[in-house]
Amino acid sequence: MTHKILIATTLATLLFSGCAQSAPDLDDNSNLTVPDTISGDTVNIDESTYGNESSNSGTGYNTSADGFQSIYFAFDGYTISTSMQDNMNTNTQIANTATGTIKIEGNCDEFGTDEYNYALGLKRAKTVKDSLVAQGIAQSKIVLVSFGESTPVCQAPSDSCYDRNRRVDLRLVR
């Protein structure tokens, strides 16, 4: 009898602990969502994977609008890589002259739970916001949204497709 209780307890412990995955915590929860919206680690991304997005000539990827450039992230990462600095500089220049609110949309690939991807999308969006604010853009001009894995731009089961979904898009809200 004691043997059966021990086995049942061990199996229950393995079942409940094996499925646990915690979402990253957000250090600063200010200005993360607005009522009308849905609500890492440093890894260098090879720039040739994305091409020169500022040209918008069919090479690379860009799902941002109004002249903004998408920012891409490494798997499970939320740090802006050095290869994305030109895109951030372009975004800062556009944000300086933009009138209206800038919506920063965090996106993820399909790996991880919905909760984890929502939190990771917010961390990616917050990283881009912090970079813009550090360059002099007013925080009051920026809103953050996380779509998690719900708005993929590519659905093929390939690494290059997953890379395209790990992004932050910027748009003007008029």
Domain CATH number, residue 139: 3.30.1330.60
* AA letter at 13: T
Is position 54 within any domain? yes
Q: What is the count of structural domains for the chain?
A: 1
How buried is residue 5: exposed, middle or buried, by Cβ count under 10 Å (0-12/13-18/19+)? exposed
Q: Tokens 């953050």 identify what position?
A: 144
- Indicate if the alpha-carbon torsion angle 88, 151, 75, 63 is positive or negative: negative
Phi, psi torsion values for 47, nearest 5 degrees: -60, -30
Question: Is residue 3 in a domain?
Answer: no
The pTM score is 0.66
Mean pLDDT score across all residues of the chain? 76
Residue 163 within any structural domain of the chain: yes
**Tell me: the pLDDT tens digits for 92-138?**
999 998 888 999 999 999 999 999 999 999 999 999 999 999 999 99
Asked whether residue 106 is assigned to any structural domain, the reply reads yes
Is there a domain that residue 41 lies in?
yes
Q: What confidence category does residue 12 fall into, taking pLDDT thresholds of 50, 70 and 90?
A: low
Quick check: 114 and 78 in contact, CB under 8 A? no
Answer yes or no: is 95 within a domain.
yes
Structure confidence at residue 23 as a pLDDT band (50, 70, 90): very low
Place of tokens 């490494």: 74
The pLDDT tens digits for 44-74 are 333 333 333 333 333 357 888 888 999 999 9
Question: Structural domain of residue 151, as residue ranges?
Answer: 27-173
Are 48 and 96 in contact, with CB atoms under 8 Å apart?
no
Give a yes or no: residue 22 inside a domain.
no
CB 119 within 8 A of CB 146: yes
